Amino acid sequence: MKRLFVVNGLFGFLTCLAAKPVAETDSVTVLGLFSADEADNARMESAMRALAPIDSVVFLTDPSTYIRSFEDSGWMAALSQPDEVRMFFTHNTWLHNRVFAAYPDAAVLLYEEGMASYYPGLLGKYRTNGRLQGVYLHNYLDAFVSPDAASKPECFGLLDRPRFSELLARTAKLRPQHVEFGPDCVVVIEQYLHRKGGISSPEGAADEYAAAILAIAERGYRIAYKEHPRERSGLFDLILARVPGWVRDRTFLIERHDVLLEELFVTSRPAAVVAINSTSLLTAPQYFDVPSYRIESLAPFDAALAIDVENEGLASNQIALAARIPTLDELPERDRLSRALPAFLRRVHSVPPMHEDVGQLSLTSSTYTADFTVLLREVANPEVRVVSFDLFDTLVKRPAVQPSDVYALLDECFVGDLPSYVRFSEVRGGAFGRLRAAAKAHGEEQPEYGLTAVYAYIAETLGLSSAAAEAMHAAEVELEAQLVEPRRAGVALVHAARAFGKPWVITTDTFFTADELEAVALGKLPVAPDQLFSSLDLQATKAAGTLLPRVAEELGLDPSAILHIGDRADHDVERARRCGMRAAHLPSHTAGALRHQRLHRLWGGVREERTAALFRGAIWAEVFDNPFRRFDSESVCGGEARLVGYMAISQAMFGWSQWILESASSRGYDLLAFLSRDGFVPLDLCRRLVQLREPGPSLEYVYSSRRAMFTVFNQTRGHIAYTELVHGLSAQTTVHNLLVTRFGSEVAEEFGRRIAAAGPGSPFEPIGREYMNAVKNALGEYAAQISQHTHGANAAAVDYYRRALDGASHPAVVDIGYSGSAQRGITEATSRGLGGLYFTTMEHNWEFARLSGAAVDEYANHPVFFRTGGLVEYLFTPAGLDTCVGFALDGAEAVPRVEPADVVDDPVRGEVHAGLREAFERIFAVFGDRTGQLRFRPRAGWMALAEFLAEPGAGDARCLQGGAHEDAVAGDVFDVFRYWAEGRAVAAQDRPDRPARPAVPESETAPAGGAESVRTIARETKAVAARVRRGVAARVRRSAQRARDRQ
């Protein structure tokens, strides 16, 4: 087998070999990256050749070189023609995808590179096209496991640890160094964090290391200092200048910076290793039973802030280390060293493994910008001793735009207990203000009121019984307990506080008692706070500025040692700073959404039903759980195909489905025929919704298509001669395609050349506008013969539709809409009245209905849905559904004839529908039996989708590029942009260096010279889409050729 190993150092090479076996007979090429030192590379090559059968080794030493080389297909072909590519698993995914694209048939295996392999969200950035054989990591101490393994466990494996140990031992023999450590020596490992992004001076880094070395020496140890393996920084000399002479005498430099620390430990083990952030903090205890300790430093967060591509990864890793690796303060005195390893292991296993740790997974559940890293850094700040958190909208969230929206779910419950036209939601929403005003008027105002007082006031003012008030009180608590859920961004900040060993408290303005708080909110959190400060208990509020000073007093701390985090800029941030505390702002999910200009423009100031706000709030609470998530502010859906389904289509589809059931009830329909394929998703949704209602109509999936409808309209001269009135006829189609799709292949063989003779001459050439009428007239000329050929198909169609509607007294079809040909066709086939419920429809459908007396109702009337009809069909319908092309008799019963979809696997549409499914699952999970109450006017449902289609941002347009929509009647598969003039226009205006989908994620930044690489990816993406279209076109041509051959 031919293998290509892409490595970035000897450690990676050893891990690569330990990932999966390599046979002696394999042909191995090694491509080394990043190292610019020729002497180091020569020594590394010598070691690699001694450890494995290698045919050739090539080093590329700087970004401009390997970018240029990877884009040179000839160079890549000359390098290797591998059956397998092994490459380090890290954040440089733009680099990996260039390599994978160069070898499209090679299997892909990813192996650990070090701490960077534990960055979250890596797996989704690789474009391996189903070739990934696995990701193999060390999973140190069974505690450090990639967060991605939580969602994709099948992709991850454990490398061969004994094999890795053996390779280390062989490496140590190959390159003996004679460095003596021993139980009186601690190794301090240098990281070049101070050089990443120019975040700090070497002097600042030297100060931190000098303080650590002094602390180690004071505990009785010698210190061995290990420079970074890729380069000499000169930091060691700066450190020595900062420590006393007796410490310098106990400190020595490991001379060979390029030697792996782990290979030195094979022959001599130290007492401990110490670092700010290093893979050796994990390898030392895993392979050598040497405990490790952290130097407390904010440098990793500063590096994260400086380097956008590593922002989430560096922050996540540092918090994972802090939760599991003790600080240098916990290093025991030399004479108590025997206690070190057991204490170390207890600390490591005091929390779950990373991929099972709720706090860690909350942190890595979404991308985020540097704004959130600033919050994490503030939590980690050694000057902060206690972290105080607001509760509602900070640590927990409600699925609502505004918290009071949830009261609307109780309106139906208490409509009989309140005066007519008085809604519970309005009474409850204004109760606190009126209660305060009444108490103030009587000189009895107090800082905070509980629900008992609120409902006593409601009962008094409305003349309700105490039993009714108690029922309302209990219902509110029960509702809140159902709806309130943990907020992952808040939980992540709590996790960070606990990781850095800081007590955390909750400081909340609340009307809930302690027991109610436990049921509604506190019981939802993964861990309990160290203390709770409630406005109801203390009769002091953040709003009035009296609660936070009480917190400092109760904790016995100077306010400057307390960090308070909350969602409100006034009650949380401003009040905390006013009393001397540190403060950090974590905006609510609603504020997080409205930070983005397009969403603010779309929804700011909109008046909508509270139930619509609940649906949108539930979606926003998930998307903007972290208000600092990466989101294209110029777009409606963040520039992500998944979010198009999650944020825009979901509410339109849900609203339409509720409207379908309500319309069926008002019209008296007893059977709804959801037409294939457009009706697939709304049928599934209506089946779930109808379970939450009174018994409703029967719901059936009925096969149909424009092509199938032609079999109904093929028995009369008028329908054949005027086939364009059954469904529009494109000048781009051919006579052959026209006849095959409308009347069948037999008709195409029999009449194709004769009808084409009246027009373009060849049945396989486009008809063209100039021959359209001539071809239609020719159809009329042969109408009688055509009807004889199609009689059997017509009889089967009639039988199928009669059986489909059998037993229904008042049926209706459900379809996305437009021309309404299926409604007319089934009416024609069954000779009975048939209603139509459409997402949108065209004027001539309404005109036909007016003439025939049929009922036609449409949900959405925005003009953009008509203009972009093909795109709406594409977005609403999953890929891969079978296409109905007609009907046939199977014995005595007619059955649909189906063909597989031309486009079975469309990644763009797959992402859209993944988001759509996730949205529906969330809505039903959050609202449960109350989901049926989420009913709202159509405009609230389709508004976001209309905005997306009518005024897309550049990100909106890019995320759908490459999508392929089938149009069998027109005879081809078209890019969805064919149906979306607005998207085409935006894409054309977009900057030329912005890639087409699939794009390099915006979170990644290519190195110098990478713009051309990005442009190449864009060109390749367009080429892939073109190949798809050419492939379909080739199938059409082959079909046509077979037809010609038969003639």
| Chain segment 605-653, per-residue pLDDT in tens | 888 999 999 999 999 999 999 999 999 999 999 999 999 999 999 999 9
Report the alpha-carbon distance of residue 147 to residue 119 in Å, rounded. Answer: 8
Q: Is the pLDDT of residue 1023 over 90?
A: no
Q: Rounded to whole angstroms, what are the CA distances from 289 to 224, 325, 404, 460, 904?
A: 18, 14, 56, 71, 52
User: In the listed set 424, 458, 481, which residue is the last one of a domain according to the structure?
Assistant: 481
Task: Report residue 56: phi and psi, to 5°.
Answer: -150, 155
Mean pLDDT on 361-367: 94
Q: What are the angstrom distances between the C-alpha of 496 and each of 368, 500, 531?
A: 15, 6, 17
Q: Are residues 9 and 156 in the same domain?
A: yes
| Residue with the two structure tokens 């949704």 | 685
pLDDT of residue 298: 94
Is residue 720 assigned to a domain?
yes
State the chain's maximal CA–CA distance in angstroms: 110
Position 1042 confidence tier, pLDDT thresholds 50, 70, 90: very low
pLDDT at residue number 1011: 34
**Cα 243 to Cα 239: distance, rounded to the nearest angstrom:** 7
819-840 pLDDT per residue, tens: 888 898 899 899 888 999 999 9
pLDDT of residue 200: 65
* Residue of 262, 631, 572 lying closest to 390 (CA atoms): 572
Tell me the per-residue pLDDT of 646-693, one tens digit each, with 9 for 90 and over.
Answer: 999 999 999 999 999 999 999 999 999 999 999 999 999 999 999 998
Q: Are residues 156 and 201 in the same domain?
A: no
How many domains does one find in the chain? 5
Q: Which pLDDT score, from 0 to 100, does residue 904 have?
A: 65
In our burial notation (b when 16+ CB lie closer than 10 A, e otherwise), range 778-808 reads bbebbbeebbebbeebbbbbbbbbeebbeeb
Q: What is the CATH number of the domain that holds 394?
A: 3.40.50.1000
Is residue 900 one of the residues assigned to a domain?
no
* Rounded distance between C-alpha atoms, residue 415 and residue 342, angstroms: 64
pLDDT of residue 1018: 36
Q: How many CB atoms lie within 10 A of CB 556?
A: 6
Least-confidence region, from 375-384, 707-716, 750-759, 879-888: 707-716
pLDDT for residue 108 is more than 90: yes
Same domain, 202 and 344: yes
- DSSP per residue over 924-988, as a string? HHHHGGGGGG----HHHHHHHHHHHHHS--HHHHHHHTT-EEEETTTTEEEEGGGG-HHHHHHHH
Same-domain status, 95 and 212: no
Quote the Cα angle for 950-1004-36, to 5°.
Answer: 155
- Report residue 710's pLDDT band, with 50, 70 and 90 as the boundaries: confident
816 close to 840: Cβ distance less than 8 angstroms: yes
In this structure, what are the phi and psi dihedrals at residue 698, rounded to the nearest 5 degrees? -70, 145
38-71 tens-digit pLDDT: 888 899 999 999 999 999 999 987 777 777 888 8
> What gap in Å lies between CA 397 and CA 393, rounded to an integer?
5
Residue 1014 near residue 1006 (C-beta atoms within 8 A): yes
Tell whether 655 is covered by a domain.
Answer: no
Pair 318, 445 in one domain: no
Q: What is the CATH number of the domain that holds 341?
A: 3.40.50
Is residue 346 located within the same domain as residue 223? yes
Q: Is the pLDDT of residue 243 over 50?
A: yes
Asked whether residue 190 falls in the same domain as residue 322, the answer is yes
The pLDDT of residue 175:
87
Domain finish residue from 461, 481, 501: 481
* Cβ-proximal residues to 434 (8 Å cutoff; 6+ apart), any chain: 457, 461
Per-residue confidence at 573, pLDDT binned at 50, 70, 90?
very high
Domain boundary among 755, 789, 823: 789
3-class DSSP state for residue 685?
helix
Note whether 10 and 115 are same-domain residues: yes
Q: What is the per-residue pLDDT for 990?
A: 64
Do residues 462 and 576 both lie within one domain?
no
Higher pLDDT, 719 or 381: 381
pLDDT of residue 973: 52
On whether the CB atoms of residues 779 and 723 are closer than 8 A, the answer is yes
Answer yes or no: is 803 within a domain.
Answer: no
What number of H helices and E strands is found in the chain? 47, 28
pLDDT at 737: 87
* Together in a domain, 313 and 422: no
**According to the model, what pLDDT value does residue 786 have?**
86
Check the CA dihedral 784-786-792-797 and report its sign. Answer: negative
Given this model, what pLDDT does residue 434 score? Answer: 95
Q: Is the dihedral of CA 274, 275, 280, 283 positive or negative?
A: positive
Token pair, residue 955, equals 């990100």
Alpha-carbon distance of 288 to 269, in angstroms, equals 7
DSSP for residue 146? -
Calculate the average pLDDT of the chain: 90
Query: How would residue 74 be classed by pLDDT, with cut points 50, 70 and 90?
Result: very high
Based on the domain organization, do 447 and 410 belong to the same domain? Answer: yes
Q: Which has the higher per-residue pLDDT, 979 or 270?
A: 270
User: Which whole-number Å values give the CA distances from 595 to 62, 233, 572, 634, 955, in the listed order?
Assistant: 40, 42, 19, 11, 17
Beta-carbon neighbour count of residue 442 at 10 Å?
A: 7
Q: Which helix (H) or strand (E) holds 200?
A: none
Q: Mean pLDDT over residues 745-760, rounded? A: 91
Tell me, rounded to whole angstroms, the distance of Cα 717 from its chain centroid. 54
- Rounded distance between C-alpha atoms, residue 970 and residue 979, angstroms: 13
Q: How far apart are CA 73 and CA 1016, in angstroms?
A: 12
Position 884 in a domain = no
- Residue range 755-784: mean pLDDT, rounded: 90
Q: Is residue 181 part of a domain?
A: yes
Distance separating alpha carbons of residues 743 and 729, to the nearest angstrom = 14
What share of residues in the chain are helix, strand, coil (percent, to 5)?
A: 55, 15, 35
pLDDT grade for 136, boundaries at 50, 70 and 90: very high
Q: Which of 160-169, 330-339, 523-532 has the lowest mean pLDDT?
A: 330-339
- Say if CB 110 and CB 8 are below 8 A apart: no
Residue 1022 pLDDT > 90, yes or no?
no
pLDDT at 1020 over 50: no
Q: Is the pTM of this model over 0.75?
A: yes
148-197 pLDDT tens trace: 999 999 999 999 999 999 999 999 999 888 899 999 999 999 987 766 65
User: pLDDT digits over 976-997, tens only?
Assistant: 888 899 999 998 886 444 333 3
- 774-825 pLDDT per residue, tens: 998 998 888 888 888 888 888 899 999 999 999 999 999 999 988 888 898 8
Say if residues 27 and 55 touch (Cβ distance below 8 Å): yes
Assess whether 336 and 187 both reside in one domain. yes
Enclosing H/E stretch for 90 = none
CA proximity to 787, closest of 834, 734, 720: 720
At 217, is the secondary structure helix, strand, or coil? helix
pLDDT at 194: 62
Q: Which residues neighbour 715 within 8 Å (Cβ) at sequence distance 6 or greater?
A: 787, 790, 791, 794
For residue 214, tell me if it sits in a domain.
yes
Domain that holds residue 82: 2-165
Q: Please indicate, yes or no, if residue 726 is contained in any of the structural domains.
A: yes
